[in-house]
């Protein structure tokens, strides 16, 4: 019995960062550009010391999207390192300088076919910031699943992040153009936009009358609830980030994706706003552009539910990082025993009982048939967020799912 009261009500702190328009930070200094999927040596196209032009292709991985240089300069070093949001990845350290521009990519024809759009998305190296995966893979997946509705997702699922809303607000016409191209790639799906609140819906209807708008609400995980509601109404929907859609519209004109919009906010930032920064900009540049206080004790990149804390303020951020939040007081998460309050079971959108999984895994012998429903976990981590005892319930549920999947329990 999954009722509509599940989920976790988050606070809405986006208003401050949405007051100002998006600030474009010029690419300067040193950028560390990630090359996702470029584990093979032949996938990496640059060597240390190479002079690079802005927009030059840096990698050609077999199963991911290529990366392009955000600015002209010199490739100082190619190294394998850990990067926030991306994980361990090959990177190019680029010292910016010079004005060389690479030749543009092949633009799309006037009436593109679905394969043309997919090729353009792949060539431009576009990443969907909502899922963190290349856009062409996401479009391919939606086409395979037969998605009938594509929504530009401005549902943030984070208290501080507002980058998707800002992109949608800045140029809704470009987002719609990208949506139409994505719909072509998915075999002629309908298009629309998804927002969190009724106020945003009204604003969007004023800006783009005629565009279908769905309201997802503020209960986390709002995206999952929206998709479930649409599926219950018989509509198979897919959510794509507005930044990726804008990049798709640009790719139709031959421009690769080299920058992303990141929300810099939190109570440790004096002037929170959205910043358009080049791929691989160090976090310090973003924080200083918005006035960070010296007393911050926690800086994390990515949404609050699955972001990663940065210990080095010079750590580079990829273009699909979505947000960078600086907090003055980090809550010390002290673990104690489960007190049986039942909040985790009430909050789970999939009807799992994380407290029961925790009890089962605590004993010596685990009975896998008692790990009920764990395969349906969507990894939203709402259970970890509400637990008063600070238990890592989301990790335990994924561990239980791994035990069940392994079949190693005889």
Partner 1 sequence: MTLRNLPAPFLRRERTVSTMMADALFALALLLILPTVQYGPRALLQSLAAMAACAVCDILYGLVFRHAFGSGDPSALVTGLTVSLLLPVNTPYWLGALAGAFAILIAKAPFGSTGRNLFNPAAAGVAFVTVCRPDLVFTYADPAAGWLPLSGDCAAVTAASPGASLHAGLKPSILPLDLLWGMYPGPMGCTAALVLGAAALFLLARRCIRPESIACFLLTAALAAALFPRIACPALTSVKYELLTGSLLFCAVFLLGDPVTSPRTTVGRCLFGVLAGGLLMAMRHTGSFEQAACFAVLIADAFAPVLDHAAIRLRAKGVRLP
Partner 2 sequence: MKETARELRAVFGNGFLFYNPVLTAALSLYPAAVCASLSQALPVSLLLLVQSLLAGLVLWAVGSRLPDWLRPGVVFAVSAVCWIPAALLAERAWPGSLSLLGAAASLQIANSMVLSRLNEYAPTHILPAVAADVLGCTLGTGVLLSLQAALRGWLASGSVWGETGAQAPFAGALGSAPAKPFFGFLVLGVLAAAVQALNARRARRVGKRRVSRL
Neighbours of 183 (CB within 10 A): 22
**Using rule CB under 8 A, residue 19 touches partner 2:** no
CA distances from 42 to 45, 46, 59, 396 (A): 7, 10, 9, 39
Q: Are 279 and 178 in contact (CB under 8 A)?
A: no
Q: How far is residue 6's CA from residue 367's CA, in Å, rounded to a whole number? A: 27
**Using rule CB under 8 A, residue 350 touches partner 1:** no
Q: Which of 63, 198, 333, 362 binds partner 2 (CB under 8 A)?
A: 362
Q: Which residue, 295 or 364, is less far from partner 2 as judged by CB?
A: 364
**Using rule CB under 8 A, residue 347 touches partner 1:** no
Q: Which residue, 7 or 55, is less far from partner 1 as judged by CB?
A: 7
State in angstroms the smallest separation of the CB of 352 from partner 1.
Answer: 12
Secondary structure, 3-state, 148-190? CEEEEECCCCCCCCCHHHHHHHHCHHHHHHHHHHHHHHCCCCE
For residue 398, the partner it binds in partner 1, partner 2, none, with Cβ less than 5 to 8 A by kind, is: none
Q: How far is residue 274's CA from residue 178's CA, in Å, rounded to a whole number? A: 21
**Using rule CB under 8 A, residue 159 touches partner 1:** yes
**Using rule CB under 8 A, residue 62 touches partner 2:** no
**Using rule CB under 8 A, residue 300 touches partner 1:** yes
Q: How far is residue 218's CA from residue 211's CA, in Å, rounded to a whole number? A: 22
Q: Which residue, 2 or 339, is less far from partner 2 as judged by CB?
A: 339
**Using rule CB under 8 A, residue 310 touches partner 1:** yes
**Using rule CB under 8 A, residue 99 touches partner 2:** no
The footprint of partner 1 on residues 313-342 (CB under 8 A) is 313, 325, 327, 330-331, 333-334, 336-342
State in angstroms the smallest separation of the CB of 397 from partner 1.
Answer: 14
**Using rule CB under 8 A, residue 299 touches partner 1:** yes
β-pairing verdict for 149-153 and 190-195: parallel
Place of tokens 């988050």: 10
Reference 106, options 131, 123, 94, 118; nearest CA is 123
Sequence-distant (≥ 6) Cβ neighbours of residue 120 within 8 angstroms: 105, 106, 108, 112, 181, 248, 251, 252
User: Which of the stretches 32-40, 77-85, 253-261, 389-397 binds partner 1 when contact is defined by CB under 8 A?
Assistant: 389-397
The footprint of partner 1 on residues 1-60 (CB under 8 A) is 1, 10
Q: How far is residue 375's CA from residue 392's CA, in Å, rounded to a whole number? A: 17
Binding residues vs partner 1 (CB under 8 A):
1, 10, 159, 292, 294-300, 302, 304-313, 325, 327, 330-331, 333-334, 336-343, 355-356, 369-370, 372, 381, 384-390, 392
- Contact set with partner 2 (CB under 8 A): 362-364
């Amino acid at each position: 019995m999954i009722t509509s009261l599940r989920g976790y009500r988050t606070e809405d702190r986006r208003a401050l960062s949405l007051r100002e328009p998006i600030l474009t930070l010029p690419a300067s200094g040193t950028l560390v550009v990630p090359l996702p999927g470029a584990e093979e040596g032949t996938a990496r196209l640059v060597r240390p010391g190479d002079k690079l032009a802005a927009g030059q292709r840096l990698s050609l991985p077999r199963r991911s999207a290529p990366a392009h240089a955000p600015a002209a300069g010199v490739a100082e070093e190619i190294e394998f390192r850990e990067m926030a949001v991306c994980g361990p990845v090959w990177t190019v350290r680029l010292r910016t300088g010079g004005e060389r521009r690479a030749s543009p990519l092949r633009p799309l024809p006037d009436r593109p076919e679905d394969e043309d759009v997919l090729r353009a998305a792949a060539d431009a190296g576009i990443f969907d910031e909502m899922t963190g995966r290349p856009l062409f893979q996401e479009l391919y997946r939606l086409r395979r699943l037969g998605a009938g509705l594509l929504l530009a997702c401005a549902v943030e699922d984070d208290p501080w992040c507002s980058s998707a809303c800002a992109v949608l607000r800045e140029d809704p016409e470009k987002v719609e153009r990208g949506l139409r191209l994505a719909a072509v790639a998915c075999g002629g799906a309908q298009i629309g936009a998804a927002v969190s609140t009724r106020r945003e819906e009204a604003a969007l209807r004023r800006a783009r009358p005629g565009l279908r708008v769905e309201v997802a609400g503020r209960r986390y995980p709002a995206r999952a609830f929206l998709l479930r509601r649409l599926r219950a109404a018989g509509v198979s929907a897919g959510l794509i980030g507005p930044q990726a859609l804008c990049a798709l519209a640009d790719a139709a004109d031959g421009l690769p994706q080299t920058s992303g919009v990141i929300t810099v906010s939190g109570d440790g930032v004096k002037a929170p706003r959205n910043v358009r920064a080049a791929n691989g900009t160090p976090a310090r540049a973003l924080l200083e552009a918005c006035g960070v206080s010296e007393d911050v004790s926690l800086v994390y990149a990515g949404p609050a539910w699955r972001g990663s804390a940065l210990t080095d303020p010079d750590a580079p951020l990829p273009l699909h990082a979505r947000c960078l939040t600086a907090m003055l007081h980090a809550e010390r998460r002290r673990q104690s025993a489960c007190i049986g309050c039942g909040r985790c079971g009430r909050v789970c959108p999939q009807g799992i009982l994380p407290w029961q999984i925790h009890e089962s895994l605590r004993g010596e012998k685990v009975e896998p048939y008692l790990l009920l429903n764990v395969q349906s976990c969507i990894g939203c981590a709402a259970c970890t967020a509400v637990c008063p005892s600070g238990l890592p319930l989301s990790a335990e549920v994924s561990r239980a799912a791994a035990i069940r999947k392994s079949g190693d329990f005889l």
